């Protein structure tokens, strides 16, 4: 009753010709929503085991790629979390839009402009790959391709964070968007994003069918869901194309 059918539709800022200034304005709303409503927390929670495993193994430096990094708020938060465990994180943000990539460079060690569907990195070239609030923008085969690309370049862990679809989440976002002064485009895209989100079962099935890897999928506060998997643990079945 509280989970609507998964919506299809066109978010305004998915348009490659969207006004860069508007995109940056809306991404500030996204970063605020990540901080207040659990998007950032979902990724940090999923990565907690990585810090513990790395500390036990004596690993003090790791690399991270954040796919669709927006303004770089996720890499910045992850860097702080890693440092609390004595781990130095070198971060790379990936964005398709050059203006957004330039803005993200303030928060990431390096930013690359490129497509999430053809990551400009070699196989197994980076330790950790995160992708937050991006997967729901892609339908079917393209979503599978994104997951395969994240798995291809990761050595240790892939974390996908996204929205958990719910009428309650949609109602909450609608009300909060006015209270927080979100731009109308942020409100429109955010509402559609919620309706394009995933249940835990859907996300688990999508990852497993796309990559051959078995993810740990958990719910988070703020109607969030995250999946974490280790590409090398299922190297025989995970695609490397």
Q: What is the pLDDT of residues 185-217, one digit of tens each?
A: 999 999 999 999 999 999 999 999 999 999 999
Confidence at residue 239, expressed as pLDDT on a 0 to 100 scale: 43
Tokens of 226: 């995250």
Look at residue 220 and give its three-state secondary structure: strand
> Cα 1 to the chain's mean position, in Å?
27
Give the whole-number percent of the chain exceeding pLDDT 70: 95
Average pLDDT, the chain: 92
Confidence at residue 78, expressed as pLDDT on a 0 to 100 scale: 98
Least confidently predicted of 2-16, 45-59, 106-120, 149-163:
2-16
Distance CA 37, CA 28 (A): 14
Distance CA 241, CA 239 (A): 6
Task: Give the residue-averaged pLDDT of 216-233.
Answer: 92
Tokens of 17: 């010709």
Phi, psi of 211 (to 5 degrees): -115, -20
Phi, psi of 216 (to 5 degrees): -90, 115
Task: Give the residue-averaged pLDDT of 36-47.
Answer: 96
Task: Give the residue-averaged pLDDT of 62-80.
Answer: 97
Confidence at residue 5, expressed as pLDDT on a 0 to 100 scale: 83
Confidence at residue 15, expressed as pLDDT on a 0 to 100 scale: 82
Task: Give the residue-averaged pLDDT of 69-74.
Answer: 97
Task: Give the residue-averaged pLDDT of 65-79.
Answer: 97
192 or 241: whose pLDDT is higher?
192
Alpha helices in 58-96 (DSSP H): 73-84
Confidence at residue 134, expressed as pLDDT on a 0 to 100 scale: 96
Distance CA 113, CA 101 (A): 6
Task: Give the residue-averaged pLDDT of 32-56.
Answer: 95
Q: How confident is the model at residue 66 (pLDDT cuts 50, 70, 90)?
A: very high
Whole-prediction pTM value? 0.92
| Sign of the dihedral through C-alpha 134, 139, 145, 151 | positive
Give the β-pairing of 216-220 and 154-163.
Answer: unpaired
> Cα 162 to the chain's mean position, in Å?
6
Look at residue 221 and give its three-state secondary structure: coil
12 or 198: whose pLDDT is higher?
198
Residues 154 and 128 sit within 8 Å (Cβ to Cβ): yes
Q: Is 201 exposed, middle or buried (0-12, 13-18, 19+ CB in 10 A)?
A: exposed
- Topology (CATH) of 20-164+198-230: Rossmann fold (3.40.50)
User: Domain-by-domain residue ranges, the chain?
Assistant: 20-164+198-230
Residue 235 has pLDDT above 70, yes or no: no
Confidence at residue 240, expressed as pLDDT on a 0 to 100 scale: 40
Residues 134 and 116 sit within 8 Å (Cβ to Cβ): yes
Tokens of 77: 């938060």
Starting at the edge strand found earlier in the chain, the sheet holding 126-132 runs 110-113, 88-95, 61-67, 126-132, 154-163, 224-229, 216-220
Residue 233 has pLDDT above 90, yes or no: no
């Amino acid at each position: 009753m509280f989970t609507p059918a998964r919506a299809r539709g066109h978010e305004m800022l998915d348009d490659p010709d969207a006004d860069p200034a508007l995109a940056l304005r809306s991404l500030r709303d996204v970063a605020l929503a990540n901080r207040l409503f659990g998007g950032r927390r979902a990724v940090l929670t999923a990565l907690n085991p990585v810090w513990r495993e790395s500390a036990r193994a004596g690993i003090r430096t790791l690399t991270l790629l954040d796919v669709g990094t927006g303004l770089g708020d996720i890499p910045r938060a992850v860097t702080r979390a890693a440092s609390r465990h004595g781990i130095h994180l070198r971060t790379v943000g990936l964005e398709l839009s050059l203006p957004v990539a330039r803005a993200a460079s303030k928060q990431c060690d390096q930013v690359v402009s490129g497509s999430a569907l053809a990551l400009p990195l070699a196989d197994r070239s980076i330790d950790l790959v995160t992708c937050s609030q991006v997967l729901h923008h892609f339908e079917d085969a393209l979503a599978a391709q994104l997951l395969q690309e994240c798995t291809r370049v990761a050595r240790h862990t892939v974390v996908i964070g996204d929205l958990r679809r719910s009428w309650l989440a949609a109602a909450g976002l609608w009300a909060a968007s006015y209270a927080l002064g979100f731009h109308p485009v942020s409100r429109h895209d955010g509402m559609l994003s919620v309706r394009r989100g995933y249940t835990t079962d859907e996300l688990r099935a999508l990852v497993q069918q796309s990559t051959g890897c078995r993810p740990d999928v958990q719910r988070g506060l703020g109607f969030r869901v995250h999946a974490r998997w280790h590409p090398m643990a299922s190297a025989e079945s995970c695609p490397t194309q």
